[in-house]
Amino acid sequence: MTTKKDIIKQDIRSNIVNGLIIPGQRLPSIRKQSEKYECSLNTIISVYQELEREFLIYSRPKSGYFVVAKEALLPLIDKKRIDFSAAAPDPTSVPQMNLRQCLNKAMELFEASIFTYTDPQGLLSLRQEIVRLFQQQQVFTSEQHLFVFSGAQQALHLLAGMAFPNGKANILVEQPTYWGMLSALKAQNQTVIGIERTPEGIDWAALERHFQSNTIKFFYTIPRFHNPLGTSYTAEEKQRLAELAKAYDVYIVEDDYLADLETNTKEDPIWSYGCASHVIYLRSFSKVMLPGLRLAAATVPHALIPLLRLHKQTADLSTSVLSQGVLEIYIKSGMYDHHAKQMRVLYNQRMNQLRGAVRSLLPLESRYSIECSGGVFAAIHLLDINTRELIQRLASRGVDLFSTEEQFLSHFPKKNLLRLSIMRTSEHDIEEGIGIIAEELEHAKQQANSAPTPFIWV
């Protein structure tokens, strides 16, 4: 049976082999890892010791554990793996030369700003560019309402911990949802309520009861290309959500992290449905550009500006000027729009390949959710299958998947899901990987059918 230690080891090992933890990098401390994986210190010690015996990591006295040199990893790296787990862009799809040029230009144009602390809301010139960018998604705001954050994770962390004008305290989240939001809420000991989201949407009667009776400060939602389900709300659902938010004085944190990948130009955010007074509209720049830039932007209702500005300033004084400068030049030059268009085409081709492979290769009774208009995630919905064991078996065959257990609140009933990401796959990898998943699903079904019926002694 697969143990929690096995899952932790496979997760860390996969990150090393796939380059998410680079050679020479120091691994998180044993205590931090035990907190992240919610396990004992001894479990992490044992995992690190086993990885050390596999020559993946090494220890330095009083310094911690580090990833071994690249040369020693080559036999593992060269071994083909199909990565359905990644949530970061494929390095080969990022125009690194263009970004270097923008970085050099930013060093020149923003030289004076680099040596001082800037506006905690972000560079005015960048905010003006983002205002124009948001207009493409029917979000017509102003630079006064716009904040530039050190990544979407910072925005979520700050919003989770601050008071809101409605005077309410509880936070409602979809289940499942983005694990980073759940981590931020847990770290701050916030009172969190979950509401189930399925490929068919959510229970509107239950949502209204929550809004009416549970003193909801804000509802965190991913209306477009949901993580991990991959699905999107319809225009009617977004309109209804906007109306309920205003009727019950509940704020909405709209995480539109993949807006740039939308292929249907008629799909608009919740913000655009006459709900600007109750929606915080958040966009990340990590999926189309680089996670390492650590940049995101949000437009917020007027009533939230003073308090959010204070929280932002106390968190980091201001977002990196150099990163902001790179993004501003990238947008202003037209390179951002050009690159976003390329990513839409690339990821849409991969999603179409995934859709075709799933339909043709998975067992007939399989349930899955794949959005038609873009995105990077899809989900296979499992029934009576041990998901942990299935992920472990797939990993042993070179197919990496992300466990969705961390995407549920600890007290909320967990669904058996396989999240599929196409961000670091090729069309050939998708076909091959789905074929392997189909074989393992058939294997799991046969095992379940052949399991002996237990005797009941009377």
DSSP 328-352: HHHHHTTHHHHHHHHHHHHHHHHHH
pLDDT of residue 117: 79
If residue 408 lies in a helix (H) or strand (E), which one and from where to where? none
- Separation between Cα atoms, residue 197 and residue 75, nearest integer Å: 42
Q: Where in the chain is the domain with CATH 3.40.640.10?
A: 111-333
126 touches 320 (CB < 8 A): no
- Supply φ then ψ for residue 53, to 5 degrees: -65, -25
Residues in a beta bridge with 147? 298
Closest CA to 343 of 90, 83, 85: 90
Question: Between vectors from CA 139 to CA 134 and to CA 142, what angle results, nearest 5°?
Answer: 75
pLDDT of residue 79: 62
pLDDT of residue 99: 84
Q: Where in the chain is the domain with CATH 1.10.10.10?
A: 1-77
Q: Among 3.20.20.70, 3.40.50.720, 1.10.1200.10, 3.40.640.10, what is the CATH number of 111-333? A: 3.40.640.10
In this structure, which topology does domain 1-77 adopt according to CATH?
A: Arc Repressor Mutant, subunit A (1.10.10)
According to DSSP, residue 318 is labeled S
Question: Between vectors from CA 289 to CA 408 and to CA 81, what angle results, nearest 5°?
Answer: 65
pLDDT of residue 91: 79
Tell whether the torsion through CA atoms of 301, 307, 309 and 314 is positive or negative. negative
- Separation between Cα atoms, residue 360 and residue 154, nearest integer Å: 41
309 touches 120 (CB < 8 A): yes
Quick one: how far is CA 150 from the chain centroid?
A: 15
- Separation between Cα atoms, residue 28 and residue 16, nearest integer Å: 13
According to DSSP, residue 404 is labeled G
pLDDT of residue 77: 52
H-type helices in 162-215, by residue range? 179-187, 204-213
If residue 58 lies in a helix (H) or strand (E), which one and from where to where? strand 57-60
Residues in a beta bridge with 419? 379, 402
Local mean pLDDT, 10-residue blocks, the chain (458 residues)? 79 80 88 90 91 82 80 57 89 81 88 83 96 96 97 96 96 97 95 96 97 98 97 97 97 96 93 95 89 92 97 93 93 93 93 96 91 92 88 90 92 93 93 95 80 51
pLDDT of residue 229: 96
Closest CA to 271 of 284, 286, 259: 259
pLDDT of residue 458: 41
